[in-house]
Amino acid sequence: MTRHKATGAVKLYLRGQLDVTGYGSLASLGTQPILMIGASPSGSFLDGMIDEVKLWTTVRTQAQIAAGMREPPVENEPGLIGYYRFDELRESWLEDSSSVGNHGRVTNQQILMPSDAPLCDASVSSGGAG
């Protein structure tokens, strides 16, 4: 999802493709915004799965989103302020894998499942299965 503060334009992308557009708030997020992933302030919850979330200080283009959705960000990538891989829960804490360290708190019942996302790090050999 992207949000352009100056215009309020909001775009939701699924699997790298534009799915829904609309308009939201023009207000600043503030110094310490609360971000709920998979839930809304009204108490409704996502009926689905989330593999990872990347948060940026700039509005990404569809091409950038599509190109980066199957690749982890490079270390210290400019504008990246949060990278959450939901297979890295530490008790009730969600580790921020970006260099910023915006760790999150997990509430409610969470079920971790193995990810089938085609991502790997440099420690995984390309010569074997998987």
> Residue 111: what pLDDT?
64
Which of the two residues, 74 and 3, has the higher pLDDT score? 3
> Residue 88: what pLDDT?
65
Among left, alpha and beta (phi > 0; psi -120 to 50; other), residue 99 is alpha
**Structure confidence by residue, pLDDT tens digits, 12-60:** 988 889 999 999 888 877 666 677 788 777 878 878 778 888 989 889 9
> Residue 128: what pLDDT?
39
CA distance 3 to 23: 8
**Structure confidence by residue, pLDDT tens digits, 91-127:** 778 888 888 888 888 776 666 666 666 554 444 433 4
Provide the edge-to-edge strand list for the sheet that holds 9-14.
2-4, 9-14, 17-23
**The pair of three-digit structure tokens given for residue 94, joined into one six-digit string:** 């969600």
CA distance 114 to 112: 7
> Residue 99: what pLDDT?
87
Closest CA to 29 of 60, 4, 54, 53: 4
Residue 37 and residue 54 in contact, taking contact as beta carbons nearer than 8 Å: no
**Structure confidence by residue, pLDDT tens digits, 48-93:** 778 888 989 889 999 999 988 888 888 778 899 889 887 767 777 8
